[in-house]
Amino acid sequence: MECFTGSEFNNFRQGLRLGRFIRNFNFAFKEIIDHKSTVMKSNNLTRTLLAAAAFCFSAFSCFGQQDPAGMLAGTWVKVIEMQTIQLSFTSDNKTEVEFTGDDVVDVYSSYEISRNRITFNDEAGDFAADVPGVYEFKVTDTSLSFTTVNDPVEGRSMLLEGTWSKRGEQE
């Protein structure tokens, strides 16, 4: 058996300590890496689940809803004081108002929709106004109703307010 001198023994002990330190450091480092990997995997899973939930929410919240502009397309009719009025919406955000029986379109206008509000901007016609009118609207397959939000033109608001029927549904 070999004997160590005092300084050799101290060097040997320090080597053992250094070896233990390195081994412990490697073990601790591996634990940190493994934990970080687990956390990253967990974060990726969380992100994936959140993205899937957001997608499902947006898909289901839109399910069954139709485009209001698409639902407006076509001709709507209303009778005021024994006079039938036609309000036609085209696919290019234009409208025409026709008082039946006079062979001329009485108002040409454009419109913009924001949620449940519609803004009419008259462009031409005998009864066209030079200021826009804003209305809340509700549309179903067979009816369309307007409520004035802001329209300084009394004639237009009297004409539009109330419930209109889809042409063909009333007849």
Q: What is the pLDDT of residues 26-51, one digit of tens each?
A: 555 566 666 656 656 666 666 665 55
* 49: Cα separation from own chain's centroid: 21
What is the C-alpha separation between 145 and 71, in angstroms, rounded? 13
3-state SS, residue 107: strand
Q: Which pTM value belongs to this model?
A: 0.60
Residue type, 84: T
Determine the number of helices (DSSP H) and then strands (DSSP E) in the chain.
Answer: 3, 8
| Kind and range of the H or E run holding 29 | helix 6-62
Per-residue model confidence as pLDDT tens digits over 58-81: 544 444 455 667 788 999 999 998
